Amino acid sequence: MSEERLRRWRLVLGPAAEDGTGVRLDRADAGMDAALAALYEADRARGRPGERRGSPRGGLEASAPTVARWLGDIRRYFPASVVRVLQQDAVDRLGLQRLLLEPELLEAVEPDVHLVGTLIALNRVMPERTRQTAREVVRRVVEDLERRLAQRARQAITGALDRTTRGRPRRLREVDWRRTIAANLDHYQPEYQTVIPERLIGHGRRRRSLPRDVILCVDQSGSMAASAVYASVFGAVLASMQALRTQLVVFDTAVVDLTPQLEDPVEILFGTQLGGGTDISRALAYCERLIARPADTILVLLSDLYEGGDREQLLRRVATLRRAGVQVIALLALSDDGAPSYDHGNAAALAELGVPAFACTPDLFPELMAAAIERREIAGWAAASGIATARGAG
């Protein structure tokens, strides 16, 4: 085995492996080893299985200065992607949520979507001296997501809106000849040296009414934290497009309409309360009251479908919405984390009502909305995009 592989195994296995590998760590590796030991071996000493073997040593004592120094160490020794994993492990394994209420600690963290979810969950117990620092951390993450996702979303959705508003011309002066010829090149007739169009395309005068209404109905349960972050960003993007009328509703056992905050995703996030129970039926009842044009409405239900309220009433409401012509989409997650735990029975029941349920990555969400705006069949779009619908929703 090469010396480099032995070194890596030594760092993975911890100090107990030192004699077996014969590796002696230099100063930088020793610092890296100490940072890993402070998390994983302290975790083992608390009676929970860590990822490394060896006698427990080090540790992250329950004080903000100690954790802040550790955060500085891991940022020195590891790339940002690894730092985010270590931070999340520290929060999950060692119960450091309360320490995130210290402004000094927040200034040392590597911000990411999962950290934002943790901060939002702590929002109601956050002291005022921490709140501004927390908002700055959340805003950094939100602005990064907007830079990455907003332009793509606007391009995909604007293209879909343009295609839906370009109707069949009734008069010759309404024909867009450039687009018509381009769309009918397959019908070129050599003997006549011309194109005989099969389909005429108009100039695309926009309808006076809005093409589509969009309602984002977002579950606030703790498992949906990352999804709530992405939903706030996309909600703001959709709301910025004048051709759409976008509304945002969040719920647990209560329902809160955050549409007035859609201009600022940070305000949306601080208006949510992650955790608690779930009453999907109650949320859909509120959304029903918002619908003025059922046939032109897209309702995106973002939830793991664990219903704490009346399940039969939930299904009846979905059936009513579908009969009215509302396009209902159930997203189990809107994140890069893959499909979460979800209620398979409710997913199957929704599938029988014509509502596919699946997890969607943020990169694919713009294409999903474009498909919905164009009234394409969503289950077919998901299959073509390589997305597996939930069990029972195939």
Largest CA distance in the chain: 88
- pTM score of the predicted model: 0.70
CA distance 352 to 393: 8
Of 19, 105, 119, residue with least CA distance to 64: 105
Give the pLDDT score at 331. 95
Give the pLDDT score at 65. 56
Give the pLDDT score at 6. 67
Give the pLDDT score at 50. 43
Answer for the pair 262, 239: CB distance below 8 angstroms, yes or no: yes
Class of domain 151-159+210-384: alpha beta
Give the pLDDT score at 48. 46
Q: What are phi and psi of 97, to 5 degrees?
A: -55, -45
Give the pLDDT score at 204. 55
Task: Please list the residue range(s) of the chain that carry CATH number 3.40.50.410.
Answer: 151-159+210-384
Of 380, 310, 311, 387, residue with least CA distance to 348: 311
Give the pLDDT score at 47. 47
φ/ψ bin of 204: left (φ > 0), alpha (ψ from -120 to 50), beta (otherwise): left
**Average pLDDT for consecutive 10-residue bins of the chain (394 residues)?**
68 59 70 79 51 46 62 78 80 70 76 84 78 89 90 86 62 71 79 78 54 92 85 93 92 93 90 81 97 96 94 97 96 84 93 94 93 90 88 47
Beta bridge partners of 300: 216, 329
**Beta carbons within 8 Å of 55's beta carbon, 6+ residues apart:** 15, 16, 41
CA distance 288 to 278: 18
For the chain, list the strands marked E by DSSP.
188-189, 194-195, 212-219, 244-251, 255-257, 297-302, 327-334, 357-360
CA distance 285 to 331: 18
Of the chain, the end-to-end C-alpha distance in Å amounts to 48
State how beta strands 327-334 and 357-360 pair: parallel
Give the pLDDT score at 197. 79
Give the pLDDT score at 54. 44
State how beta strands 297-302 and 212-219 pair: parallel
CB-CB neighbours of 16 under 10 Å: 12
- Cβ-based burial of 252 (10 A; exposed 0-12, middle 13-18, buried ≥19): buried
Burial 186-195 (b: 16+ CB within 10 A, else e): eeeeeeeeeb
CA distance 131 to 345: 40
Paired tokens of 356:
């596919």
